[in-house]
Amino acid sequence: MFKVILDILSVPAILVGIISLIGLLLQKKSISDVFKGTIKTILGFLVLGGGAGIAVSALSHFGNMFQEAFNMQGVVPHNEAVVALALEEYGTSTALIMAFGMLVNILFARFTKMKYIFLTGHHTLYMAAMIAVILMVGGLSGFSLVLVGSLVLGFVMAFFPAIAQPTMRKITGTDDVAFAHFGTVGYVLSAWVGKLVGKNSKSTEEMNFPKSLGFLRDSSVAVALTMAIFYVIVAIAAGPEYVHGLSGGQNFILFAIIQAITFAGGVYVILAGVRLILAEIVPAFKGISEKLVPDAKPALDCPVVFPYAPNAVLIGFLSSFLGGIVGMLILIALKSTIILPGVVPHFFCGATAGVFGNATGGKKGAFFGSFAHGLLITFLPVLLMPVLGDLGFANTTFSDADFGVVGIILGNIVKLFAQ
């Protein structure tokens, strides 16, 4: 039963489809509208996931070429790797904490001012797994483990959307949609840096191009061309022989260009999926708000902000990645554990940081805010690793900022009480 619960709740498309279904039923919509709204919500998440898969596939090649080109050895933060290890031993506890944590989230939304329902299922799973492992190693078990774990999870599921919402209102221009992604500390930092440095800076979406470069106003074209430059540079640095092996014998320059355009295609599909989700989930969620949790807002995954500032998405990714490289060089100089910049977290989290920084500080905010974010998700994993290292996960760690913050705080509290 726990495995079935875990399987259902860890699939974002199904989770949000169920939420949409409940909302439409509570509004007493016709069977036709209920069926259409539910299917289109699930479809939107599958489209988003498909786009993410395309982008991640292209980025994995970039990451491989980058490591080969610069011969770097170190730890690449990877949420899925840590969770896969944790679920082997702590799967049942994770499922229980996840299920009851979602109920606690609804209670927080119902009885406090944090009126946000966290709907990013896979991140809920990842946070539940980390909490379960830290608490079990701290000596908790049975009812106390599930109770404490659920309370912690439910609280962070309401708290992080709450601190992101002031900037979300600036990004979306409304108060209808909230934000649910456990990198929020990094995004709030980016917005704060943007506010500091971005006075009178124009939005990334107001960038003026000469008429001859008017094609760059198309975000998909701009992403493809910009990424092509980076892919070609890294492919040349990695060497033709390595790239030939990676591509199955294809010309290394052609392979780099195709991967760059593939990445741009993935971003395009992500944006299409987000638009489809927003068109369905927001109206459906009103039923839940009106009947169960007055004034509650659906909190959605990080790509929900991408359509509002596509140029900031690209600037944020590149600037965050640059911050990751600078952070890595600092760690090398300090002779500390080396955290290699993971291309996937720097894309999804860095791009989001770019949108948040742009909302408060325009182009300067997008660049410097994302750069600060890149530094943050380089140094936080170093501080988190001692906590996870005790658990046998020393060769990997979580990538996104909130996992680091929650893990460090919770891990040290557990150690304090265990003494």
Question: Is residue 142's pLDDT more than 90?
Answer: no
Average pLDDT score over the chain: 86
Burial letters 228-264, b for 16+ CB under 10 A, else e: bebbbebbeebeeebbeebbeeeebeebbbbbbbbbb
- Identity of the highest mean pLDDT range in 75-79, 329-333, 351-355: 351-355
If pLDDT is split at 50, 70 and 90, which confidence band does 112 have? very high
CB 316 within 8 A of CB 355: yes
CB 306 within 8 A of CB 313: yes
Lowest-confidence segment of 83-92, 217-226, 258-267, 384-393 by average pLDDT: 384-393
Q: What was the pLDDT predicted at 392? A: 53
Q: What was the pLDDT predicted at 223? A: 80
If pLDDT is split at 50, 70 and 90, which confidence band does 16 have? confident
Count of structural domains, the chain: 1
The arrangement of strands across the sheet holding 178-179 comes to 116-118, 297-300, 178-179
Question: Is residue 36's pLDDT more than 80?
Answer: yes
Give the bridge partners for 118, in sequence order: 299
Of residues 275 and 175, more confidence is placed in 175
Give the number of other CB atoms < 10 A from CB of residue 291.
13
Question: What is the per-residue pLDDT across 279-338, written as a single tens digit (0 to 9) for each?
Answer: 887 777 777 767 778 888 999 999 999 999 989 998 999 999 999 999 999 998 998 888
If pLDDT is split at 50, 70 and 90, which confidence band does 157 have? very high
Contacts by 287-294 with C-beta closer than 8 Å and gap 24+?
287/22, 287/23, 287/24, 287/25, 287/26, 287/27, 288/19, 288/22, 288/23, 288/26, 288/117, 290/26, 290/27, 291/26, 292/26, 292/106, 292/110, 293/106, 293/109, 293/110, 293/115, 293/117, 294/110, 294/115
Of residues 255 and 98, more confidence is placed in 255
Strands 297-300 and 178-179: parallel
Question: How large is the average pLDDT for residues 350-359?
Answer: 96
Question: How large is the average pLDDT for residues 42-71?
Answer: 83
| Whole-number percent of the chain with pLDDT over 70 | 91
Question: What is the per-residue pLDDT across 388-412, written as a single tens digit (0 to 9) for each?
Answer: 755 555 556 788 999 999 999 998 8
Domain hosting residue 204, numbered range? 1-417
